[in-house]
Structure 1
Amino acid sequence: MTAPAPVETPAPTRVGYGALLRTPGAWTFLVPAFAARLPYAMLSLGIVLLVFDTHGSYGTAGAVAAVSAVAQAFVGPQTGRLADRYGQAAVLLPSVAVHALSVGALIALALGHAPVWTLFLAAAPAGASVPQIGAMVRARWVAKLSSDSPQKLNTAFAFESVTDEFTFVVGPVLATAIATTVTPAAGLIGEAALTVLGGLAFAAQRRTAPAQHPRTAGAERVSALSSPGVRLLAGSFLGVGTVFGAMQVSVTAFAEAVGQPGVSGTVYGIFAGGSMLAGVLYGMVAWRRSARQRMLGSYALLVLGCSTLWAMPDLTALAVAGLVCGLAIAPTLITGYTLVESLVADGAKTEAFTWLTGAIGLGLAAGSTVAGQLIDGHGAWAGFLVPIAGAGLGLAALISLRHLLTPPAKAGRTVARGGAAQGAQLVGAAKG
């Protein structure tokens, strides 16, 4: 009997950004989402500019901003869980209201030269109520593209990563421009206004929102953190956050030390630009390797790029090293979001995305704090040791626990030997 001819697995199909943006209904949520997520990159700097102006201490300003960031990192995933259960609009409407009131209270207390502890009390709810727009947009892409090719979803996550990078380039510039040309309080007023208007406009787009997953009586609650893979990815994103935080402080200190403080923004912009460029290109490639392999590879490149920063002799060399380091950032984030989407059930996807975003925020706060201490004690070069340590620990965890990044088997999918059957193709697709 003649053996049947083997069925070849089709090559991955390349999906461009044009095809992605022609997805029906995409622009209806992307435009308001951009306005609503821009304040995410304005809040911390707006707080620093206002509190320094009213209280005269960078230490105090940084501490108030850190309270806001920590509250956002820990409460954000809980709002993501509520959005999965009750719908995004049901969470966004009270969130933007609380945020506007909290930011207004913070502005009033700062302008009134109130005690620092009262600023902490206002900063905590201001950070906790920041709408998790980035996670909600990714959840909408998952809902719209669940029946399409995995490559299209990968392109969507690449697009979102580039958008995140762009907002973190534009947001601080916008906050600084408003605060310096009008009044320091105006930066936070603009942040709150964008949050309210963008958040309400985004919430109004109910047709593109993912389905609700209410908890039924007697059913076990679905939690993103119940997945060991999600916990591992959150830990690795914490390492990425330390790179962001330490780079911001260390580049500023290095430029100050060599007598060119005005160049620090350009150097950090090159770092962020490298990440944006890599994100654009990454989303255009039809990847054959699994998402787990890509995650390990991009994270290893991140550690390699960070390892040279401390030894750079001048700002030009530092800008080049920062560019190389930045090229690994977006691919790491894109692949992480791709992986986490496959690791959790439908009722916990927004929460899972929010845990990763929150981990970056925590890492940023920790990285900037530790780098600042090292710089004060040993000089600007010492701050660049923090990215090596943070990213290195993240890579060590990924390598040793990489088996946790394998998506769980789903009902109805059978895996045939030899990779020729359709079931094997489906499982391979789930891996990215």
Structure 2
Amino acid sequence: MAGYREIVRTPGVLRIIAAQLAARFPNGMTSLAILLHIEQITGSYGAAGIVLAATSIGQALSGPVTTRLMGRFGMRQVLTVTTAICAAALLAMAFLIVPLAVYVVLGFIAGFATPPVLASARTIYPKLVTSRQLTTLYSLDASLQELIWIIAPVLITFTATQIGTTQGLLLVVAILISGGAWFILSPEVGRVRIPPSKRAFGKVLTRPPILLATIIGFLFIGSFAAVEASVVATFNHEGVESGVVLAVFSIGSLVGGFAFGHLPMGPWAMARRLSVVAVGLALASVWVNVWWISGWLFVAGIGIAPALAVGSAITTASVKFSDTAEAFGWTGTGQLIGAAVGSAVAGFLIDLTGGPTASYWAATALCALALVVAVLFVGYMPDLRERGAAPLPDTDVIRTVSP
């Protein structure tokens, strides 16, 4: 814990962590808010699912594009424009009564304009701490983000069901704008300039560690989405249990991040951390019982934040600073597609078998595949125990300006 205390005392670190968490808080609310609102308007979960799919497609497509644009126009400019467009699309969805096709378009726009806060923050981090401290900072970030997934779904569900779905979307917009403004106006966002990349768009994926981080993220996050669908299907008639079990899953990640996330990251770090998650998911699949599932999902959660921290560290360490934001855009896109695939596979298996058991095993299989990839290609994983996770040097001077 001493390493964490040292990091948060570094000027600017605590401020940028808090601001980016506030700006990303809507990520844990938007999907549920849209689902509940469109279902109320149309009376169809299928229609709501179509709008959500359009939103997810927009998010997946936007990641590499908006992050690449930050090197050309600057972080503040891109974040400001995307925040404004996303908020406008959600407001239109909240107040307009229109055909389903229009909601689909608005969902796509909101998804495509999702502000690239995560990529921005993780691009800034290397400029705030030393190379050796960077892996610990990524671990802290991965741990604290679990607060979003513990609090946000409960908050938006309560607001939408007890007050109204329109008010739920308005709450999302209010947090999107206020949290986004806090992050955008943070001195660190104005101080760091990303030099325009000299590489072709998408070229970062030719670097094996970036491609591995993208593939592993696709499988890893896909397994989480399958777990969420499985838990909801398990306790379909007792919503309280679903929320509690998923909260326990996130709490396990929070605990694991603080307890183990700071450990040195060698080539085998990803495989070791994924193995904890895979074992926990496998054992959770054995018995459909609230206490059994909660206990083993807590164990599985212990490896989540540490594994995500490794993914962030190897991404930063494998590209030049000018390519860092785009690299995080691609890994984020992989995770979003994985979430969509994981949910779809789990849903299909639940309908096909008439129960959640097969979908739990699907979640385990996806995580196990991520572990296999990490083991088979361990030779391409960078060793960060000595060099840290700092980006490769750019040939041009990286300018900083006063905010």
TM-score by length of 1: 0.84
The change in CA–CA distance for 1:31 and 1:323 in structure 2 (over 3 A counts) is: closer
How many Å separate the matches in 2 of 1:200 and 1:55? 33
Residue in structure 1 matching 2:90, options 91, 97, 103: 103
1:358-409 alpha-carbon deviations (Å, 9 max, x no partner): 32222112111111111111112111122122112222222222222237xx
Q: 1:169 to 1:84 in 2, by over 3 A?
A: farther
Q: Which amino acid aligns with 1:79?
A: T
Deviations 1:91-135 (A, max 9, x none): 1111111111111222234xx1x3222211110010111112122
Task: Please tell me whether residue 339 in structure 1 is matched to residue 314 in structure 2.
Answer: yes
Q: Structure 2 regions of 5+ residues with no counterpart?
A: 391-403
Give the whole-Å Cα distance in 2 for the aligned partners of 1:214 and 1:69: 28
Q: Which runs of 4+ in 1 moved over 3 A?
A: 206-209, 219-223
Q: Does 1:201 align with 2:182?
A: yes
Structure 1 match to 2:361 = 385
Which residue of the partner structure matches residue 291 of structure 2? 316
Q: Is the 8 A contact 1:87 1:211 kept in 2?
A: yes
Q: Which residue of 2 is the match for residue 178 of structure 1?
A: 159
User: Does residue 40 of the first structure (1) align with residue 27 of the second (2)?
Assistant: yes
Are 2:390 and 1:429 equivalent residues in the alignment? no
Contact 2:218 2:335 (C-alpha < 8 Å) held by counterparts:
yes
Q: Find the aligned partners of 1:120 and 1:352 in 2 and give their Cα distance.
A: 28
> Does 2:329 align with 1:364?
no
Q: Do the aligned residues in 1 keep the contact of 2:12 with 2:128 (CA within 8 Å)?
A: no
Equivalent residue of 1:291, what SS?
coil
Match of 1:410 in 2: none
Residues 271 and 326 of structure 1 are in contact (CA less than 8 Å); yes or no, is this contact kept in structure 2?
yes
> Is the contact between residue 241 and residue 363 of structure 1 (CA under 8 Å) also seen in structure 2?
yes
Equivalent position of 1:297 in the other structure: 272
CA contact (8 A) 1:250 1:371 kept: yes
Q: Does 1:244 align with 2:228?
A: no
Q: Partner residue of 1:79?
A: 66
Say which SS state the counterpart of residue 311 (structure 1) adopts: coil
> Distance in 1 between the 2:61 and 2:381 partners?
23
Equivalent AA in structure 2 for residue 136 of structure 1: S
Q: Which residue of 2 aligns with 1:60?
A: 47
Q: Deviations over 1:217-267 (max 9, x none)?
A: xx44474323122111111011111122111111111123xx544311111
Change (3 A) 1:27 1:315: closer
Q: In structure 1, what is the Cα distance between the partners aligned to 2:109 and 2:389?
A: 38
Aligned to 1:417: none
Which residue does the alignment assign to 2:399?
none
CA contact (8 A) 1:292 1:339 kept: no
Q: Indicate the residue corresponding to 1:141 in structure 2.
A: 125
The one-letter amino acid of 1:39's match is: P
Distance 1:406 1:25 in 2: 28
Tell me if 1:125 matches 2:109: yes
Give the letter aligned to residue 126 of structure 1.
A
Out of 208, 211, 214, which is 2:193 matched to?
Answer: 211
Taking structure 1 as reference, are residues 309 and 27 closer, same or farther at Cα in structure 2, changes over 3 Å only? closer
- Over 3 Å counting, the alpha-carbon distance change for 1:318 and 1:106 in structure 2 is same
Superimposed CA distance per residue, residues 60-91 of structure 1 (whole angstroms, 9 cap, x where no aligned partner)? 21221122122112212211122234321021
CA distance in 1, matches of 2:312, 2:131: 16
1:187 equivalent in structure 2: 168
Which of 139, 143, 166 is the matching residue for 1:158?
139
- Matches of 1:88 and 1:94 in 2, distance apart? 10
**What is the one-letter code of the residue matched to 2:65?**
Q
The answer to whether residue 386 in structure 2 is matched with residue 399 in structure 1 is no
TM-score, structure 2 as length reference: 0.90
* Match in the other structure for 1:229: 209
8 Å Cα contact 1:15-1:155 kept in structure 2: no
CA distance in 1, matches of 2:372, 2:323: 27
Is 1:273 equivalent to 2:245 in the alignment? no
SS at structure 1 position matched to 2:193: coil
**Unpaired segments of 5 or more residues in structure 1?**
1-13, 408-425
Partner of residue 376, structure 1: 351
Specify the SS of the correspondent of 1:270.
helix
Give the count of matched residue pairs.
387
1:89 corresponds to: 76
- Note closer, same or farther for the CA distance 1:231–1:149 as it changes in structure 2 (3 Å cut): closer
The aligned amino acid for 2:172 is: E
Corresponding residue for 2:398? none
Q: Distance in 2 between matches of 1:102 and 1:272?
A: 30
Once residues 89 and 314 of structure 1 are traced to their aligned partners in structure 2, the CA distance between those partners, rounded to angstroms, is: 48
